[in-house]
Amino acid sequence: MRSRPRRVILASKGGDSAQQQIATLANLGCEASVASNWDQLEPLLPEAAGGLLLVDAVSLGQTGLELVKAAARCGADLKTVVLGSSPETEKAYRRCGIFYYAVEPFADREIMDILDAVFCRPVCLDEQALSGAEHPVVTSLIAADKQGRQFGLLFSGSALSARDGLGWFIRNEFHNRMWAVKAESQPGAITAARLVALAGMCEHLLVVVAREVGRLPGALVVDEQHRLFALPPEIAQRATALIVQPAASGKALAGFDQGTASALAEHIVDLLSARTLHG
């Protein structure tokens, strides 16, 4: 059976730049249409449900922001990505709950990553495995490798469900690698004392922090220099912060779609596994 096409609406004033963008989108497997005002955009929304609204904020000016607001008011089922360059413009669009704000993604080929994030393939969950989780939520994990060395994960920004989403995928990644995993649920803010205590149980601790870094939802930055998340000095050599762009839904680490959660879980466990090579 043929898969549903990637449908994209390009909101733009048109011209040569828009035609080049449409051609690029077509080469990347998208069915793209152009709209420069609400009368053109509105009839395209139902057919593009589940797709992407790509807004050229530079060419449209204030009209672009009004189009995004109008699409939201009518309940359009689209993820909105804005092409812009002004910090003031970015703030205005982000208040509308857009999926991503990009600067020249067609020039640096970031558009391919954006399309992958918007049209990610769903991942089927193993319901039997989900039902076996002993904790409804997870705030930290201790994982032991085949040599018995313990490594920790601490989640800051939101507790994760052990039965779906990122929490489940991380546990599943460890199980697939035959690591023993213990999940813990400890509500409350992450304190220095808690960080020190958990780090004291582990060869290395990764602190996964949900924080706005201006990237695609699920993008991860390894804060090796401790510039984005302050760690207690006594554990600075045994702990690393992983800064994750929160989900567009506003649910921080708990709001990613299954495709993003699966890829992010694999990345996090890969990073932790790499630490075992240096332990």
| Higher per-residue pLDDT: 235 or 186 | 235
Phi, psi (rounded to 5 degrees) for 265: -60, -45
| Higher per-residue pLDDT: 272 or 81 | 81
- pLDDT category of residue 237 using cuts at 50, 70 and 90: confident
For 47-101, write each residue's pLDDT tens digit: 998 899 999 999 999 999 999 999 999 888 898 999 987 777 888 888 888 888 8
**3-state helix, strand and coil shares in percent for the chain, rounded to the nearest 5:** 35, 25, 40
pLDDT at position 160: 76
User: Are 220 and 170 contacting, i.e. CB atoms less than 8 angstroms apart?
Assistant: no
pLDDT at position 277: 46
Cβ atoms within 10 Å of 157's Cβ, excluding its own: 17
Do the bridges between strand 30-35 and strand 6-11 make them parallel or antiparallel, or are there none, so unpaired? parallel
The full length of the chain comes to 279
Alpha helices (H) along 95-178: 110-118, 127-131, 165-176
Q: How far apart are CA 53 and CA 270, in angstroms?
A: 33
For 57-88, give one letter per residue: b (16+ CB within 10 A) or e: bbbbeebbbebbeebeeeebebbbbbbbeeee
CA 4 to chain centre: 23
Q: How far apart are CA 134 and CA 157, in angstroms?
A: 22
Q: How far apart are CA 197 and CA 126, in angstroms?
A: 34
- Contacts for 64-69 with beta carbons within 8 Å, 24 or more apart? 64/11, 65/89, 65/92, 65/93, 65/96, 66/38, 67/11, 67/35, 67/37, 67/38, 67/41, 68/93, 68/96, 68/98, 69/96
pLDDT at position 172: 85
pTM above 0.85, yes or no: no
- pLDDT category of residue 157 using cuts at 50, 70 and 90: low
Between helix 62-73 and helix 87-94 the angle, nearest 10°, is 10
For 114-155, write each residue's pLDDT tens digit: 887 787 654 433 333 333 444 456 688 888 877 778 899 988
Q: How far apart are CA 133 and CA 123, in angstroms?
A: 19
pLDDT at position 131: 38
Domains of the chain with bracketed CATH? 6-118 (3.40.50.2300), 127-276 (3.40.50)
pLDDT at position 44: 95
Asked if residue 256 has pLDDT above 70, the reply is yes
Q: Who's near 91: CB < 8 A, 6+ residues apart?
A: none
Q: Who's near 39: CB < 8 A, 6+ residues apart?
A: none
Q: How far apart are CA 260 and CA 121, in angstroms?
A: 9
User: Are 90 and 103 contacting, i.e. CB atoms less than 8 angstroms apart?
Assistant: no
Place of tokens 């004392």: 193
- The mean of the pLDDT values for the chain is 81
Report the pLDDT averaged over residues 201-209. Answer: 89
